[in-house]
């Protein structure tokens, strides 16, 4: 390319050739990356299978990939003691999604409110920090004692976990709003509500959406843990049941199912991120991210 800059005539052919070469190099790199990924997966899973097969690692405690696969098949064909896997999955997802929505909603609203009101944030701030520092998983026990074995306590625990992630991000996002933009919109005659709509919320959105990735993971954790603590249905119950019967393979199978779902949710959140934040200049670390 430097030769082009030195005033030589740039023919369209040469440009096209350069572009083709670049594309080919990129394709080669992509192929190598995928090859590396495949090798890594084969090494880990194959190694696991081999070690347990040879008896160097006890498959009674650590499971075995082939057995995990069998458990998966069994979960989907024969179902569980608490109904089909789909029913259980649906219950868990329902809890996680409801908890996610509830926690996000409350987190965003409170975060924006406290972020834009100095007095409120000064009053409530220390308490939120205190609550944040206690191990919130323990709240699950309290919720189950208080609300029984139904769906509601699970939703609540998921929501609590989600809330703090989203809240702190929304709060910080509001704090980071460019005061020039606030001044600009105020000069144009905006009311406080209009300032929030046109400046504060769009500006905090970057932070909020970034937090949603982590938040969905927390929602799943909340739902599962609450189910392990006590439930009538759900993936968490299957896990705790498998634990009781010394069946690590089913536990791993459940983990695989949950991982697939979380990856799917992650993908949806990325789509949302792209459509809501399409105004953002592409940043370098993102465009090079894997």
Partner 1 sequence: MSKESTDKGVAANVAIDARSTERPHAMGATHQHRPPGETGANAGIGISGLTKRYLTPKGETFTAITDVTLSVEPGQFCSIVGPTGCGKSTTLAQVSGLERPSEGSVRVGGHTVEGVTKGVSYMFQADALFPWKSVLNNVMMGPVLLGTPKREATLLARDWLRRVGLAGFEDRYPHQLSGGMRKRVAMAAALINNPRILLMDEPFGALDVQTKAIMQNELLTLWEELRPSVLFITHDLDEAVALSDRVVVMTSSPGTVKDVFDIDLPRPRGDVQQIRHEERFLELQGRIWESLKDEVTRAYARTAGEAA
Judged by CB under 8 A, does residue 190 bind partner 1? yes
| Segment lying near partner 1 (by CB under 8 A), choices 69-77, 97-105, 233-241, 272-280 | 272-280
Q: Is 116 exposed, middle or buried (0-12, 13-18, 19+ CB in 10 A)?
A: buried
Structure tokens at 126: 């220390």
Give the one residue of 7, 281, 287, 288 binding partner 1; rule: CB under 8 A. 281
Residue with Cβ nearer partner 1 (7 or 189): 189
Residue of 249, 245, 238, 255 whose CA lies nearest to 58: 249
Judged by CB under 8 A, does residue 1 bind partner 1? no
Give the one residue of 106, 181, 210, 251 binding partner 1; rule: CB under 8 A. 181
Residue with Cβ nearer partner 1 (11 or 179): 179
Q: Is 94 exposed, middle or buried (0-12, 13-18, 19+ CB in 10 A)?
A: middle
Rounded CA-CA distance 44/30 in Å is: 21
Residue with Cβ nearer partner 1 (118 or 245): 118
Rounded CA-CA distance 198/196 in Å is: 6
Residue of 154, 167, 172 whose CA lies nearest to 106: 167
Judged by CB under 8 A, does residue 112 bind partner 1? no
Shortest distance, position 179 Cβ to partner 1, whole Å: 9
Give the one residue of 7, 135, 189, 244 binding partner 1; rule: CB under 8 A. 189
Q: Where along the sequence are the contacts to partner 1 (CB under 8 A)?
A: 178, 180-181, 183-190, 194, 198-199, 202-203, 205, 277, 279-281
């Amino acid at each position: 390319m430097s030769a082009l800059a030195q005033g030589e005539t740039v023919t369209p052919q040469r440009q096209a050739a350069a572009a083709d070469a670049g594309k080919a190099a990129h394709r080669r790199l992509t192929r190598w990356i995928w090859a590396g990924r495949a090798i890594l997966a084969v090494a880990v899973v194959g190694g696991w299978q081999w070690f347990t097969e040879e008896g160097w690692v006890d498959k009674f405690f650590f499971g075995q990939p082939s057995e995990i696969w069998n458990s998966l098949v069994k979960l989907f064909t024969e179902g569980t003691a608490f109904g089909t896997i789909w029913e259980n999955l649906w219950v868990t997802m329902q809890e996680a999604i409801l908890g996610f929505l509830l926690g996000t909603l409350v987190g965003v609203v409170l975060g924006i409110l406290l972020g834009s009101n100095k007095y409120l944030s000064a009053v409530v701030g220390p308490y939120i920090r205190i609550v944040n520092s206690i191990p919130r998983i323990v709240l699950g026990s309290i919720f189950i004692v208080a609300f029984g074995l139904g769906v509601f306590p699970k939703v609540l625990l998921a929501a609590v976990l989600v809330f703090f992630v989203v809240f702190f991000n929304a709060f910080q996002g509001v704090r980071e709003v460019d005061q020039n933009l606030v001044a600009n919109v105020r000069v144009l005659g905006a009311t406080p509500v209009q300032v929030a709509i046109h400046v504060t919320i769009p500006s905090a959105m970057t932070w909020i959406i970034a937090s949603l990735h982590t938040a969905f993971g927390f929602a799943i954790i909340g739902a599962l843990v609450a189910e392990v603590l006590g439930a009538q249905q759900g993936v968490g119950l299957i896990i705790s049941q498998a634990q009781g019967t010394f069946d690590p393979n089913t536990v791993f199978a459940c983990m695989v199912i949950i991982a697939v779902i979380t990856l799917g949710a992650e993908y949806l959140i990325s789509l949302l991120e792209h459509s809501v934040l399409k105004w953002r200049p592409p940043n370098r670390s993102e465009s090079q991210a894997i």
